[in-house]
């Protein structure tokens, strides 16, 4: 993988992507709560360059609604390591689970979601790869004119975003002081993780939901829609940057709760 590809990272897709139809509103009518005993446990999986603390607002809303929530602190060193961390978290639970992935976390849940206890997948402005795909393959042919995330050259096998450009690219709608903190507290993202290929896409056999962030400068919204459609996901859209789970936790938590309620309702039939 060339440095040119790395610098273009996350500016996905070919020109044909731009012509894809708008898929918003396919699943905007969210169902209500179910009995606590039938609810799945929700696992939140972060993506590259960040850690699990960004899920704070989503976590608090889901906990307020009575859901058990686990935040998985993946090391983002390799896909196999991150899947192993997620599977250990699954093993700590009882009953069904919902996996929620943001950005690269979508790759993790696509692989880890094959665990029989996983009842559903939720993608938040995330990669939803098919069999044999990795982030590196998905970003190999960026569309001309697509935003180019400010990824610095790899350092000892890890990637970082330019701190001075982090807010504009990753967290444009996040409070300025928090966006600066996110930039300064970045977690290096392993090139090995970027290259990790999915062996069996869990969305082929599990129900899935996808939230498109319409102002995303890291994964272009047209590409998010294509991946969501390919996965057969229930699609919703909301204004928001790539860090929509930080800046707009309410619609994120709402979609996750809807997915959990749908899974619980199916299980009780």
pLDDT tens digit string along 222-257?
999 999 999 999 999 999 999 999 999 999 999 999
Query: Stretch 99-106: mean pLDDT, rounded?
Result: 98
Q: What is the dihedral of CA 215, 147, 198, 123, to 10 degrees?
A: 0
Q: How confident is the model at residue 10 (pLDDT cuts 50, 70, 90)?
A: very low
Residues 177-189: pLDDT tens digits?
999 999 999 999 9
Q: How confident is the model at residue 16 (pLDDT cuts 50, 70, 90)?
A: very low
Residue 37, pLDDT score: 58
Q: Is it the case that residue 55 has pLDDT exceeding 70?
A: yes
Q: How confident is the model at residue 26 (pLDDT cuts 50, 70, 90)?
A: very low
Q: How confident is the model at residue 205 (pLDDT cuts 50, 70, 90)?
A: very high
User: For strand 189-190 and strand 158-159, is the pairing parallel, antiparallel, or unpaired?
Assistant: antiparallel
Residue 238, pLDDT score: 98
Question: How is the chain split among helix, strand and coil, in percent rounded to 5?
Answer: 40, 15, 45
Residues 129-150: pLDDT tens digits?
999 999 999 988 877 788 888 9
So where are the chain's domains?
Answer: 3-267
Distance CA 69, CA 219 (A): 26
CATH class for the domain made up of 3-267 = alpha beta
Residue 5, pLDDT score: 42
pTM, full prediction: 0.88
| Exposed/middle/buried for residue 68 (C-beta within 10 Å: 0-12, 13-18, 19+) | middle
Mean pLDDT for the chain? 88
Out of 3-7, 20-24, 213-217, least confident range? 20-24
Residue 36, pLDDT score: 55
E strands, the chain, are 41-45, 69-72, 97-102, 118-124, 158-159, 189-190, 208-213, 234-238
Question: Computed over its alpha carbons, how large is the radius of gyration of the chain?
Answer: 17
Q: How confident is the model at residue 215 (pLDDT cuts 50, 70, 90)?
A: very high
Q: How confident is the model at residue 13 (pLDDT cuts 50, 70, 90)?
A: very low
Q: Is it the case that residue 1 has pLDDT exceeding 70?
A: no
Q: How confident is the model at residue 27 (pLDDT cuts 50, 70, 90)?
A: very low
State what percent of residues in the chain have pLDDT above 70. 86
Out of 35-39, 118-122, 239-243, 247-251, least confident range? 35-39
Query: Stretch 151-166: mean pLDDT, rounded?
Result: 96
Residue 204, both tokens: 């082929």
Residue 8, both tokens: 């273009």
């Amino acid at each position: 993988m060339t440095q040119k590809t790395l610098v273009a990272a996350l500016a996905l897709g070919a020109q044909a992507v731009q012509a894809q139809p708008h898929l918003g509103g396919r699943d905007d009518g969210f169902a209500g709560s179910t009995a606590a005993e039938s609810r799945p446990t929700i696992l939140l999986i972060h993506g590259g360059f960040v850690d699990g603390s960004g899920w704070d607002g989503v976590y608090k809303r889901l906990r307020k609604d009575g859901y058990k929530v686990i935040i998985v602190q993946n090391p983002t060193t390799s896909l196999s390591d991150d899947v192993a961390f997620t599977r250990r978290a699954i093993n700590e639970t009882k009953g069904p689970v919902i996996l929620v992935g943001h950005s690269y976390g979508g790759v993790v849940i696509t692989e880890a979601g094959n665990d029989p206890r996983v009842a559903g997948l939720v993608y938040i402005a995330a990669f939803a790869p098919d069999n044999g795909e990795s982030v590196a393959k998905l970003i190999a042919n960026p569309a001309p004119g697509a935003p180019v995330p400010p990824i610095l050259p790899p350092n000892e096998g890890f990637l970082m975003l330019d701190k001075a450009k982090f807010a504009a690219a990753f967290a444009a709608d996040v409070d300025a002081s928090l966006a600066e903190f996110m930039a300064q507290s970045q977690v290096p993202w392993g090139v090995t993780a970027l290259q990790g290929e999915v062996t069996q896409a869990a969305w082929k056999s599990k129900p899935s939901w996808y939230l498109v962030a319409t102002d995303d400068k890291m994964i272009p919204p047209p590409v998010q829609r294509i991946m969501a459609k390919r996965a057969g996901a229930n699609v919703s859209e909301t204004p928001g940057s790539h860090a929509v789970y930080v800046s707009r936790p309410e619609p994120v938590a709402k979609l996750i709760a809807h997915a959990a309620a749908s899974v619980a309702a199916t299980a009780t039939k």
